[in-house]
A and B are shown apart, each in its own frame.
Chain A
Amino acid sequence: MAEAVVFYIFAALILGFAVLVITAKSTVHSVLFLVADFLCVAALYVVLQAPFLAVIQVMVYAGGIVVLYLFVVMLVNLKRPPELHADPRRLGRLGLVMALAVFAELAAIGAYGWLKPSGFDGSLDSKNIEQVGRALYTDYLVPFEVASVLLLVAMIGAIVLAKREQ
């Protein structure tokens, strides 16, 4: 019961913040809403018995990535709002319609799921971090290393791209 309440509240927050993110006039505002959204998602992770992911979400997303966005937003202080010039060939509304259509379909699929409800039978014990760590460093060691290499490359690439060539 309490779980349902928590879920519905956070779900509403998530969707609301998401809407705000994509509708906010000021970029900085949407960044803030994004942070809030991520925090809510993190809370939802806690509900899903994934505290480690929740913390990682906060630390990496909210604490790292979005800060990056914030920097860029601050560096890109625009003389004129970016949305002025609009290309007539862009089919924004069609995209909106299509997105809604796809969502309708997915919802329909979900509705099928409602007919035969499946509760959370399996449950993760409290030693969540240990499990994740084991999985990362044993079964998924190679993907883990590859991900680290990917991050390194991304870092170098970002430095090279952002470097002001003198």
Chain B
Amino acid sequence: MEIIESARPVYVVLVSLLAVILIGISGKYPNLRELWTMLAALLKFGLVVSMLPTILAGKVIEFHVTRILPGLDIAFRVDSLGMVLALTASFLWIITSIYTIGYMRSLKEHAQTRFFMCFAIAMSAAMGVAFSANVFTLFVFYEMITVSTFALVAHEETPEAIKGARKYLVYLLGTSVFFFLPAIFLTYHYAGTLDFASHGILAGKASYTIISIIFVLYIAGIAKAGMMPFHSWLPAAMVAPTPVSALLHAVAVVKVGVFTVLRIVLFVFGVDLLQKIGLGVFLSYFASFTIIAASILALKQDNLKLRLAYSTVSQLSYIILGVALLTPSGITSSIIHITIHAFSKITLFFVAGAIFVATQKKYISQMNGIGRRMPFTMAAFTVGVLSMIAVPPFGGFVSKWYLLLGAVEANMLPILVVIVASTLLNAAYFLPIVYAAFFKDPPADEVQGVHEAPLMIVVPLVITALGTLALFIWPSLLLNLAKMVVTLVM
């Protein structure tokens, strides 16, 4: 594999950090401030895309920033797996920025400068995670996301928001310090290095018992992946303004979580090692449990955002389940589901925000007939829902197809049952919303006629809805990247 030395990944991270400063000093001029956000988002996406040809050509970009201690380096490494996350996150940041501006202005939110600053930091950190060359760098950016998004979750500063934010922080920081960090420490001690390698770094370095302990520590430590029992920070974080829920809790934060699991599983332990010990099976049953349990919990939620949150918990475990199968199709499904779920879920969150902006409604029970009032919005919602349920011709179908293939390859019939059951559950908690929106009569006292949210809100959600369609029709880029990862690690 050819390695290219280039500081470009650093620029990707720095772009939005630079934007943070610019946003900070131009806080008094909202238009200028938003210009910085948009410019940074576009520039960042451009930089990521500019690295794409190199990666597709089978090369790897590396850059060593600094050595903190012997064995602890801050270093970047761009490969196909990181590219998937980086592309998805940086593209959706552009869309979300537009949406956020519309949302925040419509609601006349307070402390918008702080909001945009923290947002930009979180995006930098997400890029950092995607491009980390070793566990330590990854961990640092992982924590950076936690801290910066904490301020976003607590944005409203109401007692409720603060309570949610506190839970958010305690869960994420607590698990990472007490499970993730010791796991890193043990990895360092046994492997002597923390650099990711395509077949893992732990094989043959320690006894199976110790490797299993490290594995469990990692899985428990990466709470951002939303695995039960460390999932409840995610519903708690739904007190945040909707753009935060949309980008961070459908894309940046949770996807960073599952991405980290993927990285650790594939590049620290390696497929062979996990197969030998049988830890993949353990993980897949664990993920299956989360899938089903979270879906059942989602059924009971009336708050739309909460239902989406539980759906996210369930969907994240699809990604983990895919990689836990340790088969080519399973891993492929994991990787592409990162992007596909991001597009679908962000659409749904955008819609929830749009409804709130237009009607101040938060609860599903209030949404009868809302499709007549907000036809575009609810059409997009329907697209998102169908993609989540994995109905063709939407992206969700592709990833679930690969997941099913993976389960078959792994000879794990129970998993097939889980997937089918969860699909039914998905339908059960999403379709009633669609039905109510379009086929139930709105309350009599409501104004009739079309009354959409502002354009800056509606356009982004339509774009992302179209995106899920596009991912079904042209999945080749995504599948190529995923296949590169598979050939690398298998």
- A and B from one complex: no
Q: List A residues at the B interface (Cβ < 8 Å).
A: none
